[in-house]
Structure 1
Amino acid sequence: MDHLLTAMCYVGSRYVSGLSTNPYATDLESFVVSPPVRDASMVQTLLLYALGLDGGGEQVKAVEILVRAQHMALDIGMNTREYALANGQGSSVCEESLRRSWHELNVVCVMVAGFHGRRAFYFQDWNSFVPLPCEARYFDIGLIPPLHTFEEFEEDSFTDDDIEWSSYTYRIAAARNLDRIIQSISGHFPDNVSIHRLEAYLTAWKLHLPESKRDFYDEASDFDEMLFQAHMITDVSSMLLHRHYAKLEVLAVQTITSCSEHVDLAPTVDNMHTIKTAQAAANVSRLVALPTPLINHTHFFVCALTMSSIVHLSMWSALPIISPEQELKEQIRMNAGALKAIANVWHSARMGFGQVTKAGQMIYATRKDVAGDVFWRDFMQDDIMTGHIEDDPISEPLLCRPTSSQP
């Protein structure tokens, strides 16, 4: 299992100050070129390697490794229900690990496609009969509950079955919605009917969250990272769906490129799309304030923060000069602070922090200059109008108006 241990050390080394990832990356490259085995452990190795590359800003290479992982997973049959049973060595925990690996590969591929605009997958079987992952606390203690499929989850609203779906399952469902949006907006803008249908998926996801999933903590008061990611994916999905028709200023869109792909803006904008885009961006910013270390989150949060910042900066840039702006400025500061806090581990956060900060400084300087011009222009206009309204001769010298005694 040297290949899997090397991948774990490769990712883990990013969290150790002063430790280089290069030795582990070199060893992983040799495993990629000549895989020692073709089984689930090698798929897990490739997935971890891709995650490390992606967080390190090497997105093209990460996609290449993800494609290799997909090919291998399909070749060995990880997408079938039987694979875990046949290769789990009679251990329910090992079987659960194999199922989780298949679902994780799918979710990561969707996030790479949605967050970066780099489509890493050619195969997506959401109605796969690979059972869904259970709650992390059951996996940790080795008590695996009865198994269910994603098809059963989607039909849950129409049955009387009282099934407790895991946070991981809601994360998979969120990724499914993101995939729907990617498919719809790929290469063209969706029509109104498509937008309403996709919006309905996102709304239904939120409405059907049970009461136990409306908080970010589980029954043991431990932070629920799967639920956090599910909300993050849903908010990013909403931004992707609406931002093409929202009023986004070109400056912020073109300046920040660390995570997001080039954004084509629609020739016409709709105020409702702008509101929904801004709302989703604000939701991402609120995730920063949750009482848990930022570094414990997935590195994909970096991209969610970057996309949220693009929206905030665009909205701030478009605001009339004499208008409330403090809330937007605070959201931008909070996003930038979060990126800075993660930057010591993930290079993508360092890039994002630099670009968001630079764009914010440019907009601030521009608004400050314009605000000065507006102030003096309005001041002079008010003075001139006062002179026209008032006939008191005492005011005339103050207005510098020509009189019969002045040249």
Structure 2
Amino acid sequence: MIPPRNELHQERLEPARDPWFHDDRFLRLFYENFHVAHPILVPSATYHDRQYPEFLQLVVNFVGSHYVPSSTSQQYRDKVNAELACNPDRSPCMVQAWLIYSIAIYARGEPQEAQDAFSRAVEIALELGMNKVEFAASLNPETSIEAESMRRTWWELYITDVFMAAPFKGSAFQCSTMAPEVALPCEESAYTGTCDIPTPRKMLDFKRRVFASEETVFPSFSYRIEATTILCRALVLNRLRDYHRDHLQAVENALVSWVNHLPSKKLDIVDSYGNIDEMMFQAHMTISYATMILHLPRSDLQSILSQADDQFWPVASRHLASTLNRPIHSIKATEASRRISDAISLCPNVPKHTPFAIPALALCGMIQLATSIKHTEECFDHHYNRVTLILGCLKSTKRIWGLADAAFNSLRTSAGEALSDSMERWCTEPLRKLFPTDSTPSSTERTNQPTRPTSAISDAQDILFPPIVPGFVDPTCYNDAFFTSIPDFDIS
């Protein structure tokens, strides 16, 4: 007699007797946090029906355990690593397991181990032909959830390849240099909804959108892929020993073009209901990150901070091949960092974003810090508030990911050294700064001033919100509209 399906499933999971393996909290937290940023597995509603193999479920629970403060994730890490290393499986599920595991290990602050795990995922993926256009449809109907999951897995490999290589100044790209054959993922609402997956669109169609007579909107995942491609170009350029200035201008043109060709529906990362488009958040973040990486090494901010050799600080082999002078590069790098801080202020729950946002946040804070040193103290508050915003986000994230702990400590140490004197001067004379004594009217002047009519204070708004003292309003540094075409995020 054949046992019921549930009993077969239980029997298959029996070797993993650890209670944490069966903890539904880990699965739920994985989907509520990590999966939102890296949505390659089937949607949560179909997870149990999919019956993923045990090793992949182990990885899912391992990642979810990081979001439980009391869990001992290091013990789980060793179990998962041992299971993956000795398992001979060469299926797409193993690719997904190694991929998810590598991102988690990267976020834990173990870059070399993460690179090794990622390489295993790429090796199996290329062996299976997951980079080929026909792979997803060869196992399942093209419009099925499983086929969509396969497409997303390849593109997540493509994106992870670039971000994983960013801190390794000499590492080679494994996926991002291949021809983009695989069809593009669909919109998140279609993937998680009850409707059928639409027929996937090709990368060539996405590239041709710039010549369309009418505005064409593609899924958010597509813009994230293109943004990552531009980031890869910036990283490659910084590693070249010699290049023509037109090569630098080409990357700059790509950054500006990406923004100019965004449809109006993709300009914002938060809709009117407060829902965050995580794929567009990552896309915007990636473009700003690429802009910082491109311009910072060529700016006059490079030598300001004493810890400029930090792992999050980019380097370039040559700085002179540019049509711009160093101050303009500084302005563009600072503007890009401002864009990241503005975006994170809209959705500051960093643990729900990709761990790849951590290096971008660290670099954002370092640039704001360097700019605060370079600029006059009139705009000290402006940069100080952005630095403290980033510090706060990293502080909350370091409880989950070790990489954020390293970024937090690096930025905190640099900020403490660089801003100490400015903070002391700012705090010792706050009243004189906000209420200058030489501008206070004398009793005679007050007597001669006209009395405000009673009707003028009848408005409740005047009573509840008195005139704001200008000293409480942070000054801006400059009008940056000339240097960027990216509209401000609507935070009003």
* Correspondence 1:336 to 2:388: no
* Correspondence 1:360 to 2:415: yes
Contact 1:96 1:133 in 2 (8 A): yes
Of 361, 365, 381, the residue aligned with 1:309 is 365
Structure 1 residue matching 2:379: 3-state secondary structure: coil
Write the distance in 2 (CA, Å) between the matches of 1:151 and 1:90.
Answer: 18
The match for 2:165 is: 113
How high is the TM-score relative to the length of structure 1?
0.84
Contact 1:202 1:234 in 2 (8 A): yes
* Correspondence 1:216 to 2:276: no
The match for 1:11 is: 63
Q: Which amino acid aligns with 1:107?
A: I
Matches within 5 A, 1:220-231: 222-231=275-284
Write the distance in 2 (CA, Å) between the matches of 1:82 and 1:186.
Answer: 34
Contact 2:216 2:263 in 1 (8 A): no
Write the distance in 2 (CA, Å) between the matches of 1:81 and 1:219.
Answer: 36
Cα offset, 1:251, TM superposition: 5.2
* Correspondence 1:166 to 2:219: yes
The match for 1:378 is: none
The match for 1:402 is: none
* Correspondence 1:45 to 2:97: yes
Cα offset, 1:188, TM superposition: 2.8
Cα offset, 1:112, TM superposition: 1.9
Contact 2:372 2:380 in 1 (8 A): yes
Pair 119,263 (structure 1): closer, same or farther in 2 beyond 3 Å: same
Deviates more, 1:146-155 or 1:96-105: 146-155
* Correspondence 1:245 to 2:245: no
Write the distance in 1 (CA, Å) between the matches of 2:79 and 2:129.
Answer: 26
* Correspondence 1:286 to 2:342: yes
Cα offset, 1:24, TM superposition: 2.5
Structure 2 residue matching 1:155: 3-state secondary structure: helix
Cα offset, 1:301, TM superposition: 1.4
Identity of aligned residues (%): 25
Deviates more, 1:337-346 or 1:115-124: 115-124
The match for 2:129 is: 77
Cα offset, 1:123, TM superposition: 3.8
Q: Deviations over 1:224-272 (max 9, x none)?
A: 1000000000000001111111011535362673544566684796111
Pair 291,244 (structure 1): closer, same or farther in 2 beyond 3 Å: closer
Contact 1:85 1:95 in 2 (8 A): yes
| 5+ long unaligned stretches in structure 2 | 1-52, 427-492
Contact 1:132 1:150 in 2 (8 A): yes
Contact 2:298 2:326 in 1 (8 A): yes
* Correspondence 1:206 to 2:259: yes
Contact 2:333 2:367 in 1 (8 A): yes
Of 29, 37, 62, the residue aligned with 2:81 is 29
Matches within 5 A, 1:324-403: 324-367=379-422
Of 197, 204, 209, the residue aligned with 1:151 is 204
Q: Deviations over 1:137-156 (max 9, x none)?
A: 10112521121111221122
| 5+ long unaligned stretches in structure 1 | 372-407
Write the distance in 2 (CA, Å) between the matches of 1:199 and 1:104.
Answer: 25
Write the distance in 1 (CA, Å) between the matches of 2:375 and 2:253.
Answer: 30
Structure 1 residue matching 2:173: 3-state secondary structure: coil
Cα offset, 1:294, TM superposition: 2.6
Pair 90,206 (structure 1): closer, same or farther in 2 beyond 3 Å: closer
Contact 2:365 2:387 in 1 (8 A): yes
Contact 2:142 2:148 in 1 (8 A): no
Structure 1 residue matching 2:130: 3-state secondary structure: coil
Size of the alignment, in residue pairs? 370
Contact 1:256 1:310 in 2 (8 A): no
Write the distance in 2 (CA, Å) between the matches of 1:369 and 1:264.
Answer: 38
Cα offset, 1:12, TM superposition: 0.8
Q: Which amino acid aligns with 1:155?
A: R
Contact 2:297 2:315 in 1 (8 A): no
Write the distance in 2 (CA, Å) between the matches of 1:125 and 1:161.
Answer: 31
The match for 2:444 is: none
Q: Deviations over 1:267-304 (max 9, x none)?
A: 79611111101100111111221146332111111111
Cα offset, 1:363, TM superposition: 0.8
Q: Deviations over 1:130-179 (max 9, x none)?
A: 11000011011252112111122112222458753100000001001111
Cα offset, 1:91, TM superposition: 6.8
Contact 1:305 1:335 in 2 (8 A): yes
Pair 162,20 (structure 1): closer, same or farther in 2 beyond 3 Å: same
Structure 2 residue matching 1:252: 3-state secondary structure: coil
Q: Deviations over 1:176-222 (max 9, x none)?
A: 11111122221336432122211111111111111111111358752
Write the distance in 1 (CA, Å) between the matches of 2:171 and 2:189.
Answer: 32
Pair 257,20 (structure 1): closer, same or farther in 2 beyond 3 Å: farther
Structure 2 residue matching 1:145: 3-state secondary structure: coil
Deviates more, 1:285-294 or 1:58-67: 285-294
CA RMSD of aligned residues (A): 2.6
Cα offset, 1:33, TM superposition: 2.4
Q: Which structure shows the bigger proportion of residues in helix conformation?
A: 1
